[in-house]
Amino acid sequence: MNSIWHSFQEKNDAVIENNSIINYGNASTELKNTGSNTLIVADLSHSGIIHFSGEDASEFLQGQLSCDVTKIDHHKAQYGSCCTPKGRMLASFLIWRNSSGYFMQLPISLLITLEKRLSMYVMRAKVKLSNDSDKYVRIGVAGSLASEVVEKIFGVSPDPFLGVINSENENVICLSQDRFEIVTTQEHAPKIWEDLKKYAMPVGRFCWDWLEIKAGIPVITPATQEQFVPQMTNLEAIGGISFQKGCYPGQEIISRTHFLGKIKRRMYLANICTKEFISAGDELYSNKKQVCGMVVNAAPSPEGGYDVLAVIQTDSVKNENIYWKETKGPTLKILPLPYVLK
């Protein structure tokens, strides 16, 4: 979070910790309103941006990522992942482009490590990587009237699911029918925020995290790096894997897993009834007192407890109770995902 935006948010009563907005003074009300589909607006400074520019940027990214970069244009974004040669996820991300290049959004906690790793593969390619996290402000807006408000402010609303509108000062991305992200310059961000505040309630990052979880969008963090192949996190269900493209790190293992149909673990949406803090990387246990899964993401639920995305052995979900941290711990209540797994 750059200093100008930080000062602006402090003046708007934001409670800020480690450059993330925790809440605006009433976390429980913010979460309740988010759960009731009330229009909300959130700062997304807990995510960062790597900018890829240069005439070889598309070819370079196509050889590094699980998604098909050739399908990304000025009107369409994609989810994707960057993996080790063994097919294990180092990061998941949202990626889009405009006239200046490609923009990869991922947790700020992973950005420096991933930027350094990808830079190692540039070699003689005409591509430049830069950390543009402080250059741009990311704003989320969600709720039943989100599309209507976005159209009112920007004059047009992007196409459903990862449609993008590019203008001189902002990119507007449709994440779902009622959830949007605006990426804009620090100079224009305050005006956009004030315009959105006329209709929407400001909320902290955990409310946005909860919306991501309910949407079934996996976010890899330092605690879960190299724990999963992309299919375990349902990445193909949201368009984050191409099985037709050429080589990239981990491609052989990811493709083999797909074509042989040997996916023994999947990501599930669940609720855990507890007041204790749940973290990404927490282990899950079956009745047999064996580790059968891991929490990918967790956030407080408006209905109580925590909603989580968790990668779990499919047989355990079908045949056993799943417990958080230990077999005497709270059980997971499996909830329906918003998409169909094949």
What pLDDT score was predicted for residue 289?
84
Please give the average per-residue pLDDT across 320-340, as a whole number: 93
What does the alpha-carbon distance between residue 89 and residue 96 come to, in Å, rounded to a whole number?
20
* Closest to 61 (Cα-Cα) out of 6, 114, 24, 110: 114
Say yes or no to pLDDT of 145 above 90: yes
- What pLDDT does 322 receive? 96
pLDDT tens digit sequence for 198-241? 999 999 999 999 999 999 999 999 999 999 999 999 999 999 99
DSSP H/E element including 10: helix 3-11
pLDDT digits (tens, 9 = 90+) for 4-58: 999 999 999 999 999 899 999 999 999 999 999 999 999 999 999 999 999 999 9
pLDDT average, residue stretch 94-117: 96
Contact between 24 and 202 under an 8 Å Cβ cutoff? The reply is yes
Alpha-carbon distance 52 to 160, whole Å? 25
Q: Is the pLDDT of residue 92 over 80?
A: yes
Predicted local confidence at residue 157, as pLDDT: 87
**What domains sit in the chain, N to C, each tagged with a CATH number?**
1-257 (3.30.1360.120), 264-335 (2.40.30.110)
Question: If DSSP codes are grouped into helix, strand and coil, which group holds residue 234?
Answer: coil
**Strand ranges inside the chain, DSSP E:** 15-17, 20-23, 40-43, 47-53, 78-83, 89-98, 101-107, 128-131, 136-142, 164-166, 170-176, 179-185, 201-203, 265-272, 283-285, 291-300, 306-313, 323-324, 332-335
Q: What is the DSSP letter of 9?
A: H
- The predicted-structure confidence for 304-326, as pLDDT tens digits, reads as follows 999 999 999 999 999 899 999 98
Question: Does the pLDDT at position 262 exceed 80?
Answer: no
**What pLDDT is recorded for position 257?**
86
